[in-house]
């Protein structure tokens, strides 16, 4: 699916992973144009793995902005290693995307 953009760039020993997820991140408190409360719909769990081994596990609430953005850093990766990200939201929907580590 095209709803996750992920890039991993290595500089020296450090790999920087940047990801953008397309998701409404509804709090369950917002009202639409008709005054109806929009049900909560937000990502709860994000897992990032390097070559299948978990490096980051995030739990999110409704306070993460719409279309969540995430950057973090990693040691021990090599060019060509596989980074993968998966999210699961409160409705049980999920998505995943992978990328190869690139030279910076």
Partner 1 sequence: MNHKQWNRRAWLQGCAALLGMLALAPLRALAAAWNKAAFDATKVDAALQGLGAVQVGPSRDIILIAPDMAENGAIVQIEVESRIPGTEAIAILAEKNPTPLIANFVFSNGAEPYVITRIKMGETADVRAIIKAGGKYYSVAKKVEVSLGGCG
Residue ranges in contact with partner 1 by CB under 8 A = 14, 27, 29-30, 44-45, 47-48, 50, 53-66, 68-77, 88, 92, 94
Shortest separation between residue 98's beta carbon and partner 1, angstroms: 17
Shortest separation between residue 2's beta carbon and partner 1, angstroms: 20
CA–CA distance, 83 with 34 (Å, rounded to integer): 42
Closest by CA to 99, choosing from 87, 85, 83, 86, is 83
Closest to partner 1 by CB, 59 vs 103, is: 59
Shortest separation between residue 89's beta carbon and partner 1, angstroms: 9
Distances (CA, A) of 28 to 59, 68, 86: 18, 17, 23
């Amino acid at each position: 699916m095209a709803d996750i953009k992920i890039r991993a760039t290595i500089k020296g020993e450090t790999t920087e992973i940047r990801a953008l997820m397309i998701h409404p991140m509804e709090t369950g408190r917002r009202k639409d144009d008709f005054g109806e409360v929009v049900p909560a719909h937000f990502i709860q769990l994000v897992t990032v793995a390097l070559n299948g081994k978990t490096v980051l596990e995030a739990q999110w609430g409704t306070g993460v902005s719409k279309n969540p953005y995430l950057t973090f850093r990693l040691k021990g990766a090599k060019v060509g290693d596989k980074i993968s990200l998966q999210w699961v939201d409160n409705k049980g929907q999920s998505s995943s995307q992978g990328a190869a580590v690139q030279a910076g």
